[in-house]
Structure 1
Amino acid sequence: MEVNMDRNIFNKKSFSCNCLNVRRASQAITEVYDEFLAPSNLKVGKFSLLKHIYQLGPVSVSDLALIIRLDRTTLVRNLKSLEESGLVRDISIEGSRNRQLKLTDKGVEAYRSAERLWEKAQIFFEEYLGLDNINTLTAILSKIEALVP
């Protein structure tokens, strides 16, 4: 899979605040992934939800929230547009208090189409940073994330 590496790289200065540096990097990563995913009309957050539901489905909202480490209320709000778009549906028995989410056929198609674009974003970052740096970054981010439950 060929990835276009032609991209402006801007000279940015770090701040003395570690939190701000990580937040700025997170915003930049999100923006680049969203650019790669743009032809699919999905942003990386919604793509991630589709990917997890596809891999885990059917999955309860509570389990999905735990797995992706997202507040349940935020998750429900983010799922609403996916359900309204006909990409995700609740297959739980009527009257059940525990929703079971599954991708619709349209959702599977949207996920698979966007997955190729997401893979290009992955390759872009691996080529831009180098695999050793990606592995170091992943280890550091996991260590940081381990600070909270």
Structure 2
Amino acid sequence: MSNESDVPFSATAHVRDTCLCLHAQRAARTLARRFDEALRPLGLTNRQFSLMMSLNRPEPPSMRPVAQLLAMDRTTLTAALKPLEKRGWVSVEPDPQDRRGRRLRLTAEGRTALASALPVWTRLHADIEAELETDADMLRKGLVELSG
């Protein structure tokens, strides 16, 4: 049974083949799985690696810039920090300039874990870039433009 409100299959095929959001989501999930698998032996997920890397700064950042960098809200960031805190890799401390705020610090153990994970990330990242038929720098530039 068909009526005028039906969406033709040609529209479905067009969306399937051209939707930037769909292709970005599929690529993101595929990349996340590959990095999760590579980092699993170190007890890390890709998300945790990215979070810990975002904390690797000369001065402990507050929650806001980390949440912005990772495109997370503060509640999601707080939840993502919990397992890292439990492992002793991250500490959440009062901000000395604003006691209501929090600063996020990699612990010595967290820095060691991150240092162990970086070569794994570097190798896989190079492998993925080598697999691309498109220019990785152009892809990165386009993704930054969309997310910025």
Q: TM-score, normalised by structure 1?
A: 0.79
Q: Which residue of 1 aligns with 2:49?
A: 47
In structure 2, how many angstroms separate the alpha carbons of the residues matched to 1:135 and 1:48?
19
Consecutive unaligned residues of structure 1, counting only runs of 5 or more, are 1-13
Amino acid at match of 2:92: D
Q: Which residue of 2 aligns with 1:123?
A: 126
Aligned length: 132
Deviations 1:38-92 (A, max 9, x none): 2211011100111111225411112221233321111111011111111101232
Structure 1 vs Structure 2: percent identity of aligned residues? 31
Deviations 1:92-115 (A, max 9, x none): 269921111111111111110011
User: Whose Rg is larger?
Assistant: 2
Give the secondary structure class of the aligned counterpart of 2:94.
Answer: coil
In structure 1, how many angstroms separate the alpha carbons of the residues matched to 2:72 and 2:58?
16
How has the CA–CA distance of structure 1 residues 43 and 138 changed in structure 2, closer, same or farther, with 3 Å as cutoff? same
**Is the 1:58–1:102 contact (alpha carbons within 8 Å) kept by the matching residues of 2?**
yes
Q: Which residue of 2 aligns with 1:15?
A: 16
Give every structure 1 segment of 4 or more consecutive aligned residues whose post-TM-superposition deviation is greater than 6 Å: none
Give the secondary structure class of the aligned counterpart of 1:59.
Answer: coil
Selected match of 2:94 from 51, 75, 92: 92
Higher RCO (CA < 8 A, seq sep 6+): 1
| Structure 1 segment 78-117 matched on structure 2, within 5 A | 78-92=80-94, 96-117=99-120
| Structure 1 segment 34-73 matched on structure 2, within 5 A | 34-55=36-57, 57-73=59-75
Give the secondary structure class of the aligned counterpart of 1:97.
Answer: strand
CA RMSD, 1 decimal: 2.1
How has the CA–CA distance of structure 1 residues 58 and 21 changed in structure 2, closer, same or farther, with 3 Å as cutoff? same
Amino acid at match of 1:75: L
